[in-house]
Structure 1
């Protein structure tokens, strides 16, 4: 692996920015309607439990990423196949996130700009960060983190100071029963965003203090999960249930309703600024672990040689992944959770942990 180290604080920041990423812009849990915040909390609890699986795998193999210890656990041949599939998964997710960012920018601000142009500019930034490495980007995260939270706190206060919050929109609680909430957790809030912590199975060996991994990552997931839950409560209270579930970007619509007197209006720029900062970190981490995984699997010492070809691959993938945004969203709701996220985030890691446990138990005997 690349000879770099990141601090505990930098890892915490990367976890929070990655988890918030694009999740806070959409409406995870929207299937549960006014109970979306409950689905988010249950998804958070399940996500914390799922991260324990990733953590135990890291404890068994603290110096190598998932693409390496998969081969040690289930054998060279089958493990290489699993590692290859994870690389494809990370690249596919990179393409989807790049498409998400481009579509968001077109919808909110650059409605006359072609998607190709926006994705090209984002790609240049991504490639530059990949050439510089995770250590440099982690330092940038230290600078961006206060900006993101200052924007979040400012927006929250601005919403509270205006007469647009109606808590009655959150009632009746559990109107549709608990079944729809559990379905929402399995279909949405577990894998987006909490199950995406599988990305950090490729990054944890970079930490300079491995003993702090569990507390740092659980703290980061918990903080981001609380923020997502609060955001869903605010969106429902401001927009109402119908507009919340129909809006592709409910937070954007909520921010547009903020009007303080005649001098504080049109705060869309804060939304765009957050989108670019947090969205970039999520895109970067997915892409970077794909590069790391490919370099590890194919024994390439200089992983920067893979940055340009893999970057070109996700760029064309982001353009061709769907013919329009409606098709892109439909795939993300109906197909991705069951056929892509569930195997790579839950099923394969659990199987790897079970096999690793018995192998270590047998060797200790």
Structure 2
């Protein structure tokens, strides 16, 4: 670990921007049709339970990264293998989000630019930022947070003024009952984006006041969940279920629909700023977890030495992760949740917590037994 500390407010801002990430771009929970916003809220509430698991592990090992306490819990051999798998998991999603960013940038503004160039430009900035450490990433988040919400509030006001919102598109609520909502929540929205907060097990040890970790995490998950639910409410009320479902980037389509007084239109730049800010923060957090994880796992003294080679790996992985965007999107929706999210976000953390709990129970029993024996003597 580097010698750095972040405040609870910085952690909160990082988590909110991280959760928004590329989630604001995609039609989240649209499998629940007009109840997509409900699927997001159910996923958010369910993620509180996951965060309790991550936080409990943090309480047992407040000064260790996830890649370190796996070795404490399961032993050096198995623990190191699991730690390396988590590093690969974080690297894979850094590459996925970088690919999302590049694809949207080309679709939106630069159709003739090679994907590699778009991804490389952002990755160079991220490498520089991560090289400076977690404190610089946190301060960058503080600067972007205010700007992000100014954009969001302005955009929301313009959408209302434009008269684009049609509440009837959100009706009927729960047309087919609660089951479709629960299905989408527990197969999609719980894992992406909320379950990805597991990456912050690599950042929590840097928190100045460890007692504030639980409340900070829950508030960040709550705010980001409400924000994402509002975004989907707006998308569906403006575009309708069918267009939202068919659109690759429904929020972009919504913003492009804004027209005020026949002169204030084509406000795609709002969307562009939001895309750059949230993608930058989310990739930076994942990439930082990769760098600091590799540093701790292989006992490398200077984390900054790892940024350039690992950054190139992330960049080339983003190019080879899928042959086209349709394949990339399909993998993210159908394959990744069960193959990667479920074990790494739910199964393994629960297993680790169970092992730690049993170890502590055994230790307490041994101590009590020794105490009773000494008392009799």
Counterpart of 1:55 in structure 2 is 55
Cross-structure match for 1:26 = 26
Following superposition, the deviation at residue 308 of structure 1 comes to 1.1
**2:246 matches 1:254:** no
Q: For residues 14-63 of structure 1, what are the alpha-carbon distances to aligned partners after superposition, in whole Å with 9 as ceiling and x for unaligned?
A: 01100111111111101111110110010000111110100000000000
**Shift in Å at residue 177 of structure 1?**
2.9
Residue equivalent to 1:345: 345
Inter-partner Cα distance in structure 2 for 1:173 and 1:120? 44
Query: Offset at 1:158?
Result: 0.7
Partner of 2:212: 212
1:330 aligns with 330
State the Cα distance separating 1:176 from its structure 2 match. Answer: 2.7
Task: Show the counterpart of 1:196.
Answer: 196
Q: How far apart are the structure 1 equivalents of 2:75 and 2:30?
A: 41
How far is 1:85 from its partner?
A: 0.2
Which residue pairs with 2:372 in the alignment?
A: none
1:305: Cα distance to partner? Answer: 1.4
Q: Would you say 1:319 and 2:319 are equivalent positions?
A: yes
Aligned to 2:233: 233
The offset of 1:169, in angstroms, is 0.5
In structure 2, C-alpha distance between the alignment counterparts of 1:335 and 1:74, rounded to whole Å: 28
Measured in 2, the distance between the counterparts of 1:216 and 1:182 equals: 26
CA displacement 1:79-123 (0-9 Å, x = unmatched)? 111101000001111110110000010111111211011011011
For residue 140 of structure 1, report the CA deviation from its aligned partner: 1.4
**1:139 — aligned with what?**
139
Distance in 1, matches of 2:104 and 2:89, equals: 22
CA RMSD of aligned residues (A): 0.8
Query: TM-score w.r.t. structure 2 length?
Result: 0.95
Per-residue CA deviation, residues 106-147 of structure 1 (Å, 9 max, x unaligned), is 111111211011011011101101111110111111111100
- The separation in 2 between residues aligned to 1:130 and 1:117, in whole angstroms, is 20
Write the distance in 2 (CA, Å) between the matches of 1:282 and 1:241: 28
Q: What secondary structure does 1:23 align onto?
A: helix
Q: Could you tell me which residue of structure 1 aligns to residue 164 of structure 2?
A: 164
Moved more, 272-281 or 177-186: 177-186
Q: Distance in 2 between matches of 1:155 and 1:360?
A: 52
* CA distance in 1 between partners of 2:95 and 2:220 (Å): 25
Q: Do structure 1's residue 129 and structure 2's residue 129 form an aligned pair?
A: yes
For 1:76 and 1:290, how far apart are their aligned partners in 2? 19
Shift of 1:173: 1.5
> Which position in structure 1 is the counterpart of 2:278?
278
Aligned length: 365
User: 3-state DSSP class of the match of 2:22?
Assistant: coil
Alignment of 1:94-133 (within 5 A): 94-133=94-133
Question: Separation in 2 of the partners of 1:188 and 1:338?
Answer: 9
Q: 2:267: which partner in 1?
A: 267
Offset, 1:206 = 0.3
Shift of 1:240: 0.3
Equivalent in the alignment of 2:3: 3
Q: Deviations over 1:197-245 (max 9, x none)?
A: 0000110000011110011111111001000001111110000010011
2:373 counterpart residue number: none
- For 1:353 and 1:110, locate their aligned partners in 2 and report how far apart those are by CA, in whole Å: 47
Aligned match of 1:38: 38
Runs of 4+ in 1 over 4 A off after TM superposition: none
Question: 2 CA distance for matches of 1:362 and 1:129?
Answer: 44
In structure 1, runs of 5+ residues without a counterpart are none
Separation (CA, whole Å) in 1 of partners of 2:201 and 2:140? 21
SS at match of 1:105: helix
Larger radius of gyration: 2
Q: Separation in 2 of the partners of 1:196 and 1:82?
A: 17
